[in-house]
């Protein structure tokens, strides 16, 4: 079983070979994978840089950091549970339910925390909220891309 992508050469006008990676059926494009990873790195980095530079107490920074990690884990966990169920892979109702509850709680915690944060100006609240949402969405997309790539390569 050959799991390495096949190389395809193509001739350009100047007769120099151009090497392209052949994408497996069902595998996300390199551009989509790159955009997903970039969004995850940008979202998480921006959020953490904002926390590092914030003038809030260390315990408050710890709260926002913990909410980010909890949110990332719960989003990826829910995406996996939903996809497993869709593909007929057994997922217990308790795990599925906990995944939903954990994601809802993490989003609620960031919203409640930002709403009640008197030391953060409105534009910073928006920044943290958007970086949080970008991080969650891109973490789900990165996990989906990894799974799709593995499945596409297993088919060959």
What is d(CA 82, CA 76) in angstroms, rounded to the nearest whole number? 10
pTM of the model: 0.80
What is d(CA 134, CA 75) in angstroms, rounded to the nearest whole number? 12
What is d(CA 131, CA 152) in angstroms, rounded to the nearest whole number? 31
Residue 110 and residue 132 in contact, taking contact as beta carbons nearer than 8 Å: yes
Q: Report which of residues 15 and 148 the model is more confident about.
A: 148
What is d(CA 140, CA 56) in angstroms, rounded to the nearest whole number? 29
Q: Mean pLDDT over residues 87-115, rounded?
A: 95
Question: Which residue carries 């910073």 as its tokens?
Answer: 124
pLDDT at 4: 53
**Cα separation values, 130 from 32, 68, 80, 85, Å:** 21, 12, 23, 29
pLDDT in tens, 14-64: 666 666 667 677 788 889 999 999 999 999 999 999 999 988 899 999 999
Q: In which element (H, E) is residue 10 found? A: strand 7-11
pLDDT at 1 over 50: no
What is d(CA 137, CA 72) in angstroms, rounded to the nearest whole number? 9
Least reliable range by pLDDT among 2-11, 44-53, 117-126, 139-148: 2-11
């Amino acid at each position: 079983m050959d799991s390495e992508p096949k190389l395809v050469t193509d001739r350009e006008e100047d007769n120099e070979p151009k090497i392209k990676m052949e994408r497996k059926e069902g595998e996300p494009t390199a551009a989509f994978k790159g955009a997903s990873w970039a969004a995850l790195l940008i979202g998480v980095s921006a959020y953490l840089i904002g926390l590092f530079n914030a003038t809030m107490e260390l315990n408050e920074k710890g709260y926002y950091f913990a909410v980010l990690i909890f949110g990332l884990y719960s989003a990826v966990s829910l995406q996996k549970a939903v996809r497993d169920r869709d593909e007929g892979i057994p997922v217990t109702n308790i795990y599925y339910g906990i995944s939903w509850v954990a994601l809802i709680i993490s989003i609620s915690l960031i919203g409640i925390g930002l709403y009640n944060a008197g030391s953060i100006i409105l534009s910073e609240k928006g920044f943290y909220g958007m970086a949080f949402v970008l991080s969650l969405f891109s973490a789900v997309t990165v996990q989906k891309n990894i799974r799709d790539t593995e499945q596409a390569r297993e088919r060959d």
